[in-house]
């Protein structure tokens, strides 16, 4: 029987524990992160300690085939990021050059990589100030990082950080802020030996021009009507350490919208990116404007109601149908009224029946005395009556519950 050294047996056990597999799994957080990295924007991941921020960065680096360089910001001096002075033979003539750290030199030699600045919220103000030029201009001393290097940082909330500091407004405004949370199912399945393998978004070359046009129209349209949103520095210290609107962050937002549109990303991913750039309030206003831009033209729907393509999302479909009714209200003609009823039948056949109740009721109120009732109304009558009965049943149930209190 062969003899084993104690640590050899321990090594075998460790190998068995590391022997895991992966499976493809959609991940909204990772998709938002990878899009921001592809857009060459610095990203800051906010999350509690131990929830997998570093593991996500490791996986992202492997997926993008980029070497990962990790720098713990809080254990470095400001000179480590601004450059160390090196005195030559004649400093009065040659000056005193600022030498970069070894990790920066390695990144320049490689020409590409993922620079991970960890524990950013525990870096003191002097270090944060030294990071400004690195994050925005990619410069460390006299060295400039190549375009193939991407920057991602991670931070814990001040309440859970060791000797934590709020981020300075200039540094915070240079990042796309993403809240990082753990998925219970992913953790349990991963501890069982199967971790997720995220599918990264792919940019569609045929969508690039349209994506840029959409992004510019959305951002410029909002800022034209809401000029106070161009620059709004939060009054509270904690708000200044997060995302807030400025010309710089709006430029980042425009770029992110274009990348998300070119990748065909979901609204959830786009919401994470937009709100992570300019904050929740301005971000939600921009998203609402994008929704309005995506609504079909009511006149086009009335022109071909039988073949119309309506939005899949319920709220957008409801808004599109309401827009059609309003178009008929503005120019009430028999042919347009009939076309609107045909469109409502189309909506009934391709979506939730309850979405046609309100527009059908409003459209019926627009009927002129000389207009005959179209056959389409008969097809909608059942859905309208069913919805009304459901509403009455709900009202009775609520009344009974309140009476029983």
Confidence at residue 112, expressed as pLDDT on a 0 to 100 scale: 93
- CB count within 10 Å of CB 135 equals 21
Q: Which two tokens stand for residue 277?
A: 């750039």
Cα(379)–Cα(405) distance, integer angstroms: 41
Mean pLDDT of the chain: 85
Q: What is the CATH number of domain 21-86+96-197?
A: 3.40.50.300
E strands present in 20-90: 21-24, 43-46, 68-72, 84-85
Query: At residue 209, does pLDDT exceed 80?
Result: yes
374 and 360 Cβ atoms separated by less than 8 Å: no
pLDDT value of residue 110: 92
- Residue 16, φ and ψ in degrees, nearest 5: -65, -40
- 173/234 Cα distance (integer angstroms): 11
Lowest-confidence segment of 93-107, 195-209, 210-224 by average pLDDT? 93-107
Which of 40-44, 79-83, 368-372 is predicted with the least confidence, judged by mean pLDDT?
A: 79-83
- Cβ contacts of 361-365, under 8 Å, gap ≥ 24: 362/322, 362/325, 363/325, 363/328, 363/337
Sequence-ordered list of residues with C-beta below 8 angstroms from that of 71, at least 6 positions apart, any chain = 103, 115, 116, 117, 118
At 64-83, the pLDDT tens digits run 889 999 999 888 888 878 77
Q: Are 45 and 33 in contact (CB under 8 A)?
A: yes
Both tokens assigned to 75: 């254990």
Looking at residue 210, what is its pLDDT?
Answer: 92
Percent of the chain surpassing pLDDT 90: 37
Residue 228, pLDDT above cutoff 90: yes
Q: What percent of the chain has pLDDT over 70?
A: 87
Beta bridge partners of 150: 114
Closest among 296, 311, 304, 252 to 277, alpha carbons compared: 252
Q: What long-range pairs does 382-389 form, CB within 8 A, spacing at least 24?
A: 383/348, 383/353, 383/354, 383/356, 383/357, 384/356, 384/357, 384/360, 386/353, 387/353, 387/354, 387/357, 388/357
Provide the residue ranges of all domains of the chain, joining segments of one domain with +.
Answer: 21-86+96-197, 205-294, 298-403
Please give the pLDDT value at position 249. Answer: 97
Which is nearest to 280 in space by CA: 229, 329, 213, 319? 229
- Give the confidence band of 96 by pLDDT, cuts at 50, 70, 90: low
């Amino acid at each position: 029987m062969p003899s084993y050294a104690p640590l050899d047996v321990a090594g075998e056990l460790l190998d068995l524990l590391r022997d895991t597999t992966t499976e493809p799994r959609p991940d909204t957080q990772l998709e938002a992160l990878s899009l921001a990295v592809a857009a060459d924007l610095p990203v800051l991941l906010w999350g509690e300690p131990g929830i997998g921020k570093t593991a996500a960065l490791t996986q992202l680096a492997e997926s993008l085939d980029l070497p990962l360089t990790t720098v713990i910001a809080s254990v470095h001096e400001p000179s480590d990021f601004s450059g160390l002075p090196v005195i030559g033979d004649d400093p009065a003539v040659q000056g005193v050059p600022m030498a970069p750290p070894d990790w920066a030199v390695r990144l320049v030699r490689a020409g590409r990589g993922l620079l991970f600045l960890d524990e950013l919220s525990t870096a003191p103000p002097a270090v944060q100030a030294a990071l400004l030029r690195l994050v925005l201009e990619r410069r460390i001393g006299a060295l400039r990082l190549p375009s193939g290097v991407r920057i991602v940082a991670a931070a814990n909330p001040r309440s859970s950080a060791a000797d934590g500091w709020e981020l300075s407004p200039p540094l915070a405004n240079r990042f796309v802020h993403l809240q990082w949370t753990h998925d219970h199912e992913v953790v349990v399945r991963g501890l069982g030996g199967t971790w997720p393998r995220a599918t990264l978004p792919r940019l569609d070359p045929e969508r690039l021009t349209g994506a840029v046009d959409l992004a510019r129209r959305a951002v410029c349209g909002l800022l034209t009507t809401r000029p106070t949103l161009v620059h709004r520095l939060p009054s509270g210290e904690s708000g200044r350490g997060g995302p807030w609107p400025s010309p710089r962050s709006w430029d980042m937002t425009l770029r992110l919208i274009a990348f998300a549109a070119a990748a065909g990303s979901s609204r959830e991913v786009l919401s994470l990116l937009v709100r992570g750039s300019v904050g929740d309030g301005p971000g939600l206003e921009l998203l609402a404007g994008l929704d309005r831009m995506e609504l079909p033209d009511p006149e086009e729907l009335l022109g071909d109601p039988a073949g119309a393509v309506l939005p899949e999302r319920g709220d957008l479909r409801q808004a599109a149908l309401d827009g059609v009714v309003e178009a008929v209200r503005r120019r009430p003609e028999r042919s347009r009224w009939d076309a609107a009823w045909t469109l409502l039948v189309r909506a009934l056949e391709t979506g939730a029946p309850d979405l046609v109740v309100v527009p059908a009721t409003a459209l019926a109120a627009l009927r002129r005395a000389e207009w005959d009732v179209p056959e389409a109304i008969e097809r909608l009558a059942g859905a309208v009556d069913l919805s009304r009965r459901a509403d009455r049943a709900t009202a009775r149930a609520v009344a009974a519950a309140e009476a029983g209190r």
